[in-house]
Amino acid sequence: MRNRLLALTLALLFLPAAVMAQDDRADYRDQAISLLERVPLFDGHNDTPWQYRNRAGYKFSALDFFDTTQLSRPMHTDIPRLRDGRVGAQWWSVYVNANQPEPQAVVQTLEQIDFVHRLVERYPEHFELALTAADVERIFADGKIASLIGMEGGHSIGNSLAVLRQMYDRGARYMTITHSRTLDWVDAAGDAPVHDGLTAFGEEVIREMNRLGMMVDLSHVTPAAMRDVLRVTEAPVMFSHSNARALVGHPRNVPDEVLELTAENGGLVMVTFVETFTSEERRQHFAERAAYQSKVEYLHAGQPEAIAEQMEVWDAANEAPNATLAQVADHIDYLRDQMGVDHVGIGGDYDGVSSLPVGLEDVSTYPDLFAELLRRGYTEAELEKIAGLNMLRVLREAEAVAERLQAERGPSEVLITDFED
C-alpha cells in the first residue's frame, strides 16, 4: 500500500508539468504535420506481418487492414492510422521465431515476404513496394506509403548466402543479423555469447550484404558483434529499433562507444518506443518482479496456484511505471548530442510489443512526437533529417557501395562448412 501511495503522490506532483508539456506540444502539432507531409516519415520497424500471421493466418478476408481497432486486442497499425500518423515510408519487419529449425524459419520468412507483396497488391491506392531510395521518393510524391521489407534475424537465411541472395531478389533490403538467439556465425544480445562477435563466415555474410545492397541492421547483436560489423562493412549500418544504453541499460540498446563508431561509419540509430528500452524505471520494475517471482517459485515449488496468487498480490501492490513520449524524445536528444542529427531516425516497433509509451499508443501519434521535438527547439531542417532524409541518405550510400562492389566481384561462393574444423 505504501508503494501505491508513493506512486500516486509522485504522479500528482508531476501531473501539472506533464499537462503543461502536452498543452505546449499541441501548439506545435500543425507544424509537425506540415513537416511530415513534405518529407517521408520513414519508420524503421513494424511487425504487422507477424500480427497477420498470428491473428488471421495472413488472410485479408479475415482481417481488413482498414480497421484493426475492432479486435478484442486492437492492433497498433491500420491504414487510417498510418495516414493520420503521416507515415510516408515503412520498413515492414518479416520476423519469424528464432527458436525453431532454420529450414522452417526460411519457409516462414518467405511467407512473411509474400504477405508484404500481397499487402501492396491488396491496397494499391495506399501502398507500393519500394526497392531503392529513388522508389521511396517517387512513391511518397505519389501520395502512397513506400513499403520496404526488412528481415529480422539471420536465422532466416539458414546459414546460406544463396538464400540471402534469394531473399534480396524477393525484395528484402535489410537484415537484422540476429534476433534473440546466438547463431552459428554471430552473437545475439540477451543470449550467451559464443563467438565474441562475428565468425569468419559472419564476416562473409556482411561482405555479401554490402555487395547486394542489403542494409546491415545491428539492433539485436552484442556490442562485440556491433564492433566487428563496423570493422568489416563498407556501407553504412542501421539500428532499426534501438535506444541509447547510457539512458537505459537494456542489452538491446547501443553503448556510447558504438554510437561513436556508427557516426564515423555514416550509419543510423532509429529510436524505438519499446518501453523497457525507453524507461530505466520500467526496466528496474520488471527486474524486481523477476527477482520476486524467483523467490516465490523457490518457496512454493510445485504449487502453481500459490505462485500465481503471490504474483497477483505483488502486481496489485507494485504497478509498473509506463514509459512516456517525453522519454522517447530524451533518447533522441541524447543520440543527437552524441552522434549528430545526421545519424538519428525513428523505429517504433509497433505491433511487435504488447505495450507502448504514454502518448505513443499507435501509429497515428507520430506527429505528437515531432511536435514535442519542435517544442524542445529542434529546427525543421533537423527534423526533416530525423523523419526520413537520414534513412534515404543511408539507403543511397548502400546502393552506391553495392554498385561499386558488383563491378569488382561476383556473388560469394563461400559456404559455412568451409570454416568447419
Q: Write down the H helix ranges in 37-101.
A: 48-56, 79-84
Distance CA 390, CA 360 (A): 22
179 is an active site residue: yes
Catalytic residue among 76, 126, 241, 343: 241
CA distances from 24 to 13, 84, 297, 372 (A): 19, 20, 47, 8
Helix, strand or coil, per DSSP, at residue 381: helix
Within a 10 A sphere around the Cβ of 400, how many other Cβ atoms?
12
Catalytic residue among 76, 126, 155, 179: 179
64 is an active site residue: no
45 is an active site residue: yes
List the grid coordinates of 342.
545526421
30 is an active site residue: no
Catalytic residue among 349, 351, 368, 372: 349
128 is an active site residue: no
| Cβ pair 157, 147 in contact under 8 A | no
Distance CA 121, CA 286 (A): 42
- In degrees, rounded to 5, the angle at the alpha carbon of residue 99 between the alpha carbons of residues 97 and 164 is 65
| Cβ pair 298, 339 in contact under 8 A | no
DSSP assignment letter at 324:
B
Catalytic residue among 152, 204, 330, 362: 152
| Cβ pair 111, 162 in contact under 8 A | no
Task: Give the chain's length.
Answer: 421
Catalytic residue among 126, 155, 220, 250: 220
Closest CA to 370 of 379, 361, 394, 362: 379
Catalytic residue list:
45, 47, 152, 179, 220, 241, 349
